[in-house]
Amino acid sequence: MIQSISVKNFLSFKEKTEFSFEASSDNTLESQYVFEPVKDVRLLKMIMLFGSNGSGKTNFIKIFKFLYEFIVEGDLSSFQPFNYNNSNKIGEFEIVFYAEKIKYIYKLKVDKNSVIEEKLYNYPSQKPALIFDRSKTTDNKINVDYGKKLNVSNVDKGIINKFIKNDKSILFSWSANYFESNDIYTIQNWFKTKFFKPINTEDSISNLVDDLLLNDEKKLKHSVIKYMKQAGFSISDLEYKTVTTPIDNDTIKEILESLKTFENKDNLLKELQGSLSLQKIKKVFKREITDKNKTKTVEVNFDEESKGTKRYFEVLTIILNQIKEEGILAIDELEYSLHPLIVIHLISDYIRQAGESQLIFTSNNVALLNYKDRLRRDALWILDKDKNGSTIYKTVSNITKFRKELSYFNYYLKGEFGGIPQVVKPFTNLTNK
C-alpha cells in the first residue's frame, strides 16, 4: 500500500510535491479510515481532494495514470513537463509503498523520450537494500547496477539488459521477457494487481467491467447487485446474453467483391448466403416493478439505462473488485453523473469494508463536506495554484485554526481552506458552526 507519492515537473506540479498517505495522531473514525500494513505504520484508506476548477485535481490523478502506463504497459507518452516558463524538461517521481509486508521505494526521472534514472530499493531490515539503479550515460547508453542480493545470474542480467529500451521501465522489460526475479517480479506484479489504472470521466470502462464480471464466477456480480439494491436501484439481477444477428446477403456480396484476388466468388456466395451471422454479448438488468399491486420482473437493456445508473454500476464494480484485491484506485470526479446521496452511500460503505485497500478521489461536490460524521481532517486534501500556476496542496489537519466541531462545508465556502474559485466571493455571511 502507498505511504507517499511525490512528483516534480509534471503537468501543473512544478516544484517537488510530496503527498503523504500516513494518518495523523487523530483517532477520529480510526477503525474506518486507518490500517497498518506493518506495525506502527498507519496509513489512510481513503483520500478526498477538493479544489477549484484548474487547481490540479485531474493532474493529480494523472500521476497514477502515468505511473501505471509506464510501468505496466511500457508507455512513456503521457509524460508532460510543467509548461509555464520552464526550461527544465525532466520530470521526477517517487513512490514509497508496501508489498508483501516489505517497504519499497521506487524513484524515476524521465523526459518526453527516455528514462534518465530509475531506482528501486527495499527495506528487508532497517537499512535499505538496492535492487537496481539504472542511469543514462553521456553517450545515451543504459547503465544498470543490480543489488548484491538479487537472485539472478550474471548471464540473465546480460540478456535482459539487451531488452531494456531507452523509453521503457526496467520493471516492464523484465516482466515482458519472463524473468521472474524475486524482488523485481514481486514489484512488477504489485503494480499489475494492486496499482489499479485510474478512472476518469473521459475513458470508457465498460470492457474492463465486463471482463471482471464474466471472469468472477458470479461472486462479484452478486455483491454489485446487493449494493445497488441498498442504494435504491430496483435491480434484482444482471445477465449477459448472446444475441445472434444474421448477416444479410448484400453484405456478404460486398465483402466478397472487396476481395479482389479471391477466385470462384459466385460459387462461394451461393454457399455463404443465409449461413453467416454476428454474435454480440449484451448486458440486461432485471428490474422489479409493481403493477396493479403485483410485483413482476422486467428486463431492461443496459444501454437504455440512465447515465447515472450505468456510471454507478461500473464504478461500484471496480471499487468492489479493488476491495477484494486490496488494491489502490484513483478516481477523478467520483460524483460524475451521480446524486450526492449515492456518493455518500458509496464512500460510507467503502470505509467500513475497505480492509487494506486505498481509494483516492477528486470531487467538485462540496455537499459532501456537510457529512462531518464521515470525514477525517487528514483525509481531506485541498489543492490550489500559486502565482506561478503551479499546484500546491495541504490537508485540513494542517490548518490549525480549524477545529473538529466546526463546519467543513461553511469553512470551505468562506474560503478558509483555500481551493475555491476566485470569481466567486466567499460566503462571508456563513458561520463556521
For every residue of 93-150, DSSP letters joined together read: EEEEEEETTEEEEEEEEE-SS-EEEEEEEEESSSS-EEEEEEEE-TTS-EEEEE-TT-
Q: Which whole number is the average pLDDT over 18-40?
A: 96
**Angle (deg, nearest 10), helices 307-325 and 219-230:** 130
Q: 140 pLDDT exceeds 60?
A: yes
Q: 365 pLDDT exceeds 80?
A: yes
Q: 312 pLDDT exceeds 60?
A: yes
**Are 153 and 173 a contacting pair, CB within 8 Å?**
no
pLDDT for the residue 155: 78
Q: Which 8-state DSSP code applies to residue 370?
A: G
pLDDT for the residue 265: 63
Confidence of residue 174 (pLDDT cuts 50, 70, 90): confident
Q: Which whole number is the average pLDDT over 307-330?
A: 96
Phi first, then psi, for residue 367 (nearest 5°) are -60, -25
Query: How would you list the strands of the sheet with 235-246, edge to edge?
Result: 235-246, 277-291, 294-301
Mean pLDDT of the chain: 89
**Are 28 and 376 a contacting pair, CB within 8 Å?**
yes
CATH topology classification for 2-196+327-413: Rossmann fold (3.40.50)
Cell of 233: 436501484
CA distance 262 to 144: 53
**Are 91 and 115 a contacting pair, CB within 8 Å?**
no
Confidence of residue 423 (pLDDT cuts 50, 70, 90): low
pLDDT for the residue 337: 94
Q: Which whole number is the average pLDDT over 238-252?
A: 83
User: What end-to-end distance do the CA atoms of the chain give, in Å?
Assistant: 36
Residue 409, Cβ neighbours under 10 Å: how many?
A: 18
Q: Which whole number is the average pLDDT over 174-197?
A: 81
**pLDDT tens string 96-126:** 999 999 999 999 999 999 999 999 999 988 8
Residue 68, Cβ neighbours under 10 Å: how many?
A: 20
CA distance 411 to 369: 10
For residues 157 and 324, which has the higher predicted lDDT (pLDDT)? Answer: 324
Confidence of residue 73 (pLDDT cuts 50, 70, 90): very high
Q: 426 pLDDT exceeds 70?
A: no
Rounded to the nearest 5 degrees, what angle is found at the Cα of 75, between the Cα atoms of 71 and 79?
Answer: 95
Domain locations along the chain: 2-196+327-413, 206-311
CA distance 383 to 359: 17
SS (H, E, C) 260-296: CCCCCHHHHHHHHCCCCEEEEEEEEEEEEEEECCEEE
Confidence of residue 342 (pLDDT cuts 50, 70, 90): very high
CA distance 349 to 77: 36
Q: 230 pLDDT exceeds 70?
A: yes
Residue type, 208: L
Confidence of residue 156 (pLDDT cuts 50, 70, 90): confident
For residues 259 and 231, which has the higher predicted lDDT (pLDDT)? Answer: 231
**Are 64 and 331 a contacting pair, CB within 8 Å?**
no
Cell of 173: 522489460
**pLDDT tens string 253-279:** 777 677 666 666 666 666 666 667 777
Confidence of residue 383 (pLDDT cuts 50, 70, 90): very high
- DSSP E strand boundaries for 211-353: 235-246, 277-291, 294-301, 328-331
In the chain, % of residues over pLDDT 70? 91
In whole angstroms, how far apart are CA 46 and each of 13, 244, 252, 352, 368? 22, 44, 54, 11, 14
Cell of 58: 485531474
CA distance 421 to 429: 17
Q: Which whole number is the average pLDDT over 47-76?
A: 96
In the chain, % of residues over pLDDT 90? 66
Q: Which of 423, 415, 422 is nearest to 399 (CA)?
A: 415
For residues 227 and 252, which has the higher predicted lDDT (pLDDT)? Answer: 227
- Which 3 state secondary structure label does DSSP give 367? helix
pLDDT for the residue 264: 66
